[in-house]
Amino acid sequence: MTSIRRQLVALIERGAIPDEQVERAVRLSGLHPTGRAWSVFLDRLLLWLGCLALAFAVLFLIAYNWSEMGRLLRLGLVEAALVLAVAVYWIVDGRGMMGHAVLTAAALLLGVLLALFGQVYQTGADPWQLFFTWALLMLPWVLVARFDVLWVLWLGLLDLAVLLYFRTWGGPLDAWVAGDASALWGLFLLNTLALVAWELGARRWRWLAAGWPVRLLALGSGIPITLLVMTFILDERAAFSPSLLAYALWLMALYAVYRHWKPDLFMLAGGCLSAIVVTTLFLARHLFWQAEAAGFLLMSLAVLGLGAAAVFWLKRLHAEMES
């Protein structure tokens, strides 16, 4: 769909709007924020900054005065701040930006409380258990709030838990993969499932329709699988890797969904970038590795050619979407 700015520019270029009425047309189109819009923006910005500052202030206060505070005072201070945040959320009935801000602050304070508990009592737990427990205890709040920022925070905690778990204990693919590949597989599977669930849920619940969380999940899915394919290409001993099949299926699904079902240039551009990186690495590894100076020249030409082809294709798609 064509944006308001592009529609207005097209009307001005065709002369449909007289020169003396251009300024009024721009003002009525809402392209420039009004004084009320600026007031609302500053109000929300200060609200969020204030809530986050208070949450982190509790953490820094305890860390700076660690030796002067007893364990009960440390725990009591964090618990009091947590109860206060939950109480404010209950008072405002969880509505509006105030409810979302204080609940996000409460979620952060919950993590501070868990980390403080583990530090004070030296539980000996692995780091992944902290983030997993944090996500588990936060889940009821996330379900009740129906706020995309909390959902992204929750998924980020799960990503950290999965990453640290596989780096500590490995995974079921350790017999076929080496190094941190198990952690990358865990991140890829988790974020891909989350992306699919988010896209399907957005068709039913409007609060999931924001574009930025979906794009973050797409990055969380695309980066691990791209790194897995790159690791396979650089591994001289490997003859085949399941990452090749997964990568091919991921690219095909990305194209099918974000080209035909839900057109999105950001997603397609990310797929193009991933394909360019993988193709360039493959050419460098198998064709230009021993070519020295000539190899660098050929690699440069390959990157320029692939990049130009991707830009040409994306510009054509953009023109189709705008028409």
- In this structure, the answer to whether residues 117 and 253 fall within a common structural domain is no
The residue type found at 242 is P
**Domain end (from 122, 141, 169):** 169
Residue 1 has pLDDT above 50, yes or no: no
- In this structure, the answer to whether residues 177 and 317 fall within a common structural domain is yes
134-158 confidence digits (pLDDT tens): 999 999 999 988 888 999 999 999 9
Residue reference for tokens 């520019």 = 9
Pick from 64-68, 174-178, 224-228: least confident: 174-178
Contact 187, 218 (CB under 8 A): no
Predicted local distance difference test score (pLDDT) of residue 2: 53
Cα–Cα distances in angstroms (integers) from residue 7 to residues 14, 17, 53, 114, 166, in the given order: 11, 12, 41, 52, 51
CA 225 to CA 252: how far, in whole Å? 13
53-106 confidence digits (pLDDT tens): 999 999 999 988 888 888 889 999 999 999 999 999 998 887 788 889 999 999
- In this structure, the answer to whether residues 187 and 162 fall within a common structural domain is no
- In this structure, the answer to whether residues 231 and 302 fall within a common structural domain is yes
- In this structure, the answer to whether residues 28 and 82 fall within a common structural domain is no
The residue type found at 203 is R
Question: Where in the sequence is the domain holding 64, given as residue range(s)?
Answer: 35-169
- In this structure, the answer to whether residues 10 and 48 fall within a common structural domain is no
**Domain end (from 169, 200, 222):** 169
CA 276 to CA 298: how far, in whole Å? 14
CA 217 to CA 196: how far, in whole Å? 9
Mean pLDDT across the chain, nearest whole number?
85
Q: How many domains does the chain have?
A: 3
Got the DSSP string for 242-308? HHHHHHHHHHHHHHHIIIIIS--HHHHHHHHHHHHHHHHHHHHHHTSTT-HHHHHHHHHHHHHHHHH
- In this structure, the answer to whether residues 284 and 251 fall within a common structural domain is yes
Contact 233, 280 (CB under 8 A): no
Predicted local distance difference test score (pLDDT) of residue 234: 85
- In this structure, the answer to whether residues 159 and 218 fall within a common structural domain is no
At residue 35 the predicted structure's pLDDT band, cuts being 50, 70 and 90, is: confident
- In this structure, the answer to whether residues 182 and 323 fall within a common structural domain is yes
**Domain end (from 117, 148, 169):** 169
108: how many CB neighbours lie within 10 A of its CB? 23
- In this structure, the answer to whether residues 86 and 182 fall within a common structural domain is no
Alpha helices in the chain (DSSP H): 4-13, 22-29, 35-64, 71-91, 96-121, 127-145, 148-169, 181-202, 211-234, 242-256, 265-286, 292-322
Cα–Cα distances in angstroms (integers) from residue 216 to residues 3, 14, 97, 147, 274, in the given order: 23, 39, 22, 15, 15
Q: Which of 118, 186, 119 is nearest to 158 (CA)?
A: 186
Residue 26 has pLDDT above 80, yes or no: no
Predicted local distance difference test score (pLDDT) of residue 168: 78
- In this structure, the answer to whether residues 323 and 188 fall within a common structural domain is yes
At residue 291 the predicted structure's pLDDT band, cuts being 50, 70 and 90, is: low
Residue bearing the bigger pLDDT, 9 or 194: 194
Residue bearing the bigger pLDDT, 287 or 136: 136
236-279 confidence digits (pLDDT tens): 776 778 889 999 999 999 999 999 888 899 999 999 999 999 99
Predicted local distance difference test score (pLDDT) of residue 322: 72
Predicted local distance difference test score (pLDDT) of residue 320: 84
- In this structure, the answer to whether residues 178 and 307 fall within a common structural domain is yes
